[in-house]
Amino acid sequence: MSSYSLVVLISGNGSNLQAIIDQIERGYLNAKIECVISNKKGAYGLERAQKHNIPTAELEHQAFSSREAYDHELIKLIKPHQPDCIVLAGFMRILTASFFNAFEHKIINIHPSLLPKYQGLRTHQRALENKDADHGISVHIATEELDSGPVIAQADFPIEAKDTIEDLQKKCHQLEHILYPLVLKWLIEKKVEISTGIITFNQSILKQPLMLKQISQNELP
């Protein structure tokens, strides 16, 4: 079986990228990262990729006059790699319809909230301000509407009275590094399949997100 082809888009530290690299190297994921692309110069995630001999590219959005112009160039950069999946891993850039049309049903994102709650930024702060009992993360199909695509899987945890924004961020990161590789494994093995906005899991339509706490330990990275 040939390896599953990934292109990863980042903007910063790249900790989720590192989690994916680690799971490829230990054999959990039968995948190959064809390229890591950052919209920010000097993003540390690029260095992470280079340490593992993964090709990288910087495509700074400031150099383009419009989102459309940027996405046109980004599409040109990605297409030769013919990715099975484009992984948004802390890519802090809103993409246009033309990008999603070019890679329909192939783009996934990870978001630090239990979607549909708290789309956009400041998710940890908003959870604390609203005195939520729980918080967590979501892996979803990326669509033109920000953080609104169908959710594949989520992981949650209780918010404790002493928790700060930094505490929630740390707890989310720990779960992200488990859930993102797990969802990728499901995609690679075709346990999860995506078409026309419909997600199936083991060939049954997914009516609600899969929850990490309900998954057998044997399946986890």
Global pTM value = 0.96
Structurally, the chain folds into a number of domains equal to 1
Euclidean distance between CA atoms 85 and 57, whole angstroms? 17
Rounded Cα–Cα distance for residues 204 and 15 (Å) = 32
Domain of residue 83: give its range: 4-219
Catalytic center residues: 111
Residue 148 belongs to domain with CATH number: 3.40.50.170
Q: Which of 33, 29, 32, 36 is nearest to 186 (CA)?
A: 29
pLDDT tens string, the chain, 221 residues long: the values are 579 999 999 999 999 999 999 999 999 999 999 999 999 999 999 999 999 999 999 999 999 999 999 999 999 999 999 999 999 999 999 999 999 999 999 999 999 999 999 999 999 999 999 999 999 999 999 999 999 999 999 999 999 999 999 999 999 999 999 999 999 999 999 999 998 879 999 999 999 999 999 999 999 99
